[in-house]
A and B are shown apart, each in its own frame.
Chain A
Amino acid sequence: MNAASGVAIASAATQWQRLRALIRKEARQLLRDQSNILVGIALPVILILIFGYGLSFDVKNMPLAVVLEDASPTAHDVVSGFYLSPYFTPITLASLHEAEQLMLARKVDGILYLRTDFSRQLAAGNASIQLLVNGVDANRGRIMQGYARGALAQWAAKRASTGAANPAGAVTIEQRLWFNEANNSTHFLVPGLIVLIMTLIGALLTALVMAREWERGTLEALFVTPVRATEILIGKIVPYFGLGLIGLTLCMLAAKLLFAVPVRGSLLLILLASMLYLLVSLAIGLLISAAVKNQFLASQIALLTGFLPALMLSGFIFDLRSLPMAVRGISRVLPATYYVELLQTLFLAGNVWVLIVRDCAVLAFFAAVLLTLARINTRKELD
């Protein structure tokens, strides 16, 4: 062993010691303030409960006013399907005016209207039923129209099969919903929730903590010590990385135990993808704080560039296929988009290697670029 390599080993040892001391300091600082713990652990729990129990796109029991101006048995027969359907809770009324009052007061979401001469028209083979829906919630209105059409089509099919002498054929649809046979929206909301929590802990919390140190000048105090800028960054990243993994564990447990979301892909891959994304969002947080060095601006920018796009533009709630090209372009450069796709695939579809390899590579690329940028922006200098 020559002298030079001895020095190298000794300096590697002190470097490691410095790093350990830094990480310990950051971890203590993290644990000391109860508001950090609130965001790191309590908020995931609150969100899990809200997402698992509160949010649902599965519409059932929509209140519907059924106005029967024609009270004949035929008319009753036509609407009978609505009373049996799990999607509607119908109220029978005699006048349209009454129903409109209920709709204005938001007591019903729609009105099914059969006019006085309905059964006479039906006998003549030319009857119509009116469905009025409240369009203020467009999605709900559309779902209601779909179910109403289904209920009437069933009635028509039954009637055709009993009465007609010379039936014409009809196309029927056998529908199979892959990956989510139960058609349960919790199954795609819970993976999306993991994305939100990782973004929150990574980008928002780190941006805030780091901006505070810049603003108060405590980083400058660190700069006069022998620690390198890279070591400062690693010291910051490690505790928050740990906090992120705790959040992930909580979500995975809730997904499995509370909501029975299937995990069809490999757990190891989910962990790997989450670690990559966590690095990306930590880097975003560090980059923002180093760039603005101000708590108010850092939190606003983290919110506007990290959290809101992860909620609205990542394909987690709103489907990316409906976006105009320009907006889709924005979603393509968001790391969250790839993480959402990875998680939805790994949870519900399984190990689809083509997708997984591509998305993980993209995340790794983002992590490398953003961490490098954060390192370049964190220089040991005073301004």
Chain B
Amino acid sequence: MRDSLHRILILCRKELLAILKDPRSRIVLFVPAILQSLIFGYAATYDLNTVPYAVLDQDHSAASRDLIAQIEGSGIFRRVLQLQVPQQIAPAINRKQALLVLHIGQGFERALTAGDSAAVQLVLDGRNSNTAATASGYISTIVEGFNARWQQSHGQGAAPLRLEMRAWYNPNLETRWNMIPSLIAALSMLQTLMLTALSVAREREQGTFDQLLVTPLRPREIMVGKAVPSIFIGLVQASAILLVALLWFRIPFAGSFLTLYTSLLMFTIASVGIGLAISAFSANMQQAMLYTFVLLMPMMLLSGLTSPISNMPEAMQYLTLANPLRYAIEMVQRIYLEGVGFAWIVNDLWPLGLIAAVTLPAAAWLFRHRLV
């Protein structure tokens, strides 16, 4: 038992040295993770803060000017064009000068004062329909505010019904708040998986793996010795991104670090298991890389990182159950933002344990029994 532990420790040391001795690998393992969490923290948002828009005001009335003033006053909409005739709408949208055109027709104020509904036309660039929907949502909020004020000043009293809205865990509903915690899991998995996938494949390609197999090390010990350094590096990467979230973006951390690190550890073990199994299965580094990639892409896309799992068709939702990243993102978000304890994440922890329990022994077995 003690001998075995000793052998494993020596192998771990050798593996860590092999990974970290090249200064370029050291850089590639840590600098991009931090840089990316910074850049994506700014980029990965569905919120809009500048919307270039154009106005076609054919009414030229006090009411139309008032509506435009309220839109400008929001600070989000920036007027890039002042149109004169409806024919100018198409080029403004086509050339991507404006995301939307607000068209106020003649008789706008007359309809309003007569107590009718006065329609304004909103033409949106639907090339990215998600962005268009968000912008249109902003406009309707502004128009509702305008209506409430108009009705109040024209003798109907305050609106009878108010909707008070509050968001749990993320009061301003900032996309960044849910994106960065997901990145802790996603970015660290990306690199740990590739690192692990290469570990055995590299030795196979260079012929040193056969030497390793004739040493007193048992396959199980080789497996542990290869897994531990990758797990360690994965956790360090995750911590680096966590620091960016805490110190740079200052997203309040609601949970406990013990819960967070337990779940991250479980997740990293599961992904390292997948990486080792791929590595043991591949004949050379190129194959290992490409297999990893073929697995990574669907895992990233079907994890809830960019679009919610509950939007997917049912068959796809079942498919996500085999995806470790799905559980990790759910856990990290819940621990980070909601501050939940172990009781709420058990359902995410055991599938990860199951994935690790299948992939790690499979890798150890494949060390000696590779089919090709």
Contact = CB atoms under 8 A, between A and B. Distances in A.
Contact of A149 (B24, B45, B141, B155): B141
A167 B42 CA distance: 46
A53 to B, nearest CB: 6
B194 to A, nearest CB: 7
A315 B39 contact: no
Interface stretch (B227-235, B261-269, B299-307, B350-358): B299-307
Say which size band chain A's interface belongs to: 35 or more
Interface string A229-273: 000000000000000000000000000000000000000000000
Contacts of B2: none
Given A166-B156, A313-B43, A321-B48, A55 B36 contact: no
A27 to B, nearest CB: 17
A321 B42 CA distance: 11
B371 interface: no
Given A38-B291, A159-B160, 4 more contacts: A168-B115, A171-B112, A172-B117, A348-B127
B39 A183 contact: no
B164 A319 contact: no
A50 B117 contact: no
Contact of A178 (B36, B124, B130, B291): B124
Contact of B150 (A57, A145, A169, A176): A169
Contacts of B340: 104
Contacts of B50: 321-322
B121 interface: yes
8 contacts: A54-B313, A138-B47, A145-B173, A171-B118, A172-B119, A173-B140, A208-B290, A300-B194
A26 to B, nearest CB: 14
B156 to A, nearest CB: 5
Contacts of B95: 352, 354-355
Contacts of B313: 53-54
B15 to A, nearest CB: 14
- Most chain B CB within a 10 A radius of its CB, from A141, A169, A209: A169
Contacts of B52: 321
Interface string A134-168: 11111111110110111011011001000010111
Interface in A301-349: 301, 303-304, 308, 312-313, 315, 317-319, 321-324, 327, 330-331, 341, 344-345, 348-349
A93 interface: no
B215 interface: no
B144 interface: yes
- Chain A: interface secondary structure? helix
A322 B118 CA distance: 31
A147 B64 CA distance: 26
Given A35-B286, A56-B307, A156 B164 contact: no
Contacts of A177: 124, 126, 129, 132, 136
A214 interface: no
A5 B59 CA distance: 76
Contact of A152 (B94, B163, B312): B163
B290 A318 contact: no
B123 interface: yes
A174 B119 contact: yes
Interface string B26-60: 00100010001001101111111111100000000
A36 B168 contact: no
B158 interface: yes
A344 B128 contact: yes
Contacts of A47: 297-298, 301
The 6 closest A-B pairs by CB, nearest first: A135-B170, A180-B126, A135-B167, A169-B112, A35-B290, A177-B126
A140 B129 contact: no
Nearest to A53: B313
B43 A312 contact: yes
Given A146-B140, A204-B293, A354-B95, A54 B129 contact: no
B67 A171 contact: yes
Say which size band chain B's interface belongs to: 35 or more
Interface in B95-137: 95-96, 99, 111-134, 136-137
A51 B289 CA distance: 23
Contacts of A104: 338, 340, 344
Given A46-B298, A170-B151, A78 B111 contact: no
Contacts of A179: 125-127
B94 A209 contact: no
B183 to A, nearest CB: 10
Interface in A199-216: 200, 204-205, 208-209, 212
B75 interface: no
Contact of B129 (A57, A78, A142): A57
Interface stretch (B174-182, B217-225, B237-245): B174-182
A287 interface: no
Contacts of B122: 173-176
A178 B169 contact: no
A71 to B, nearest CB: 18
A112 to B, nearest CB: 9
Contacts of A348: 126-127
Nearest to A149: B163
Interface stretch (A11-19, A278-286, A290-298, A369-377): A290-298
A139 B289 contact: no
A127 interface: yes
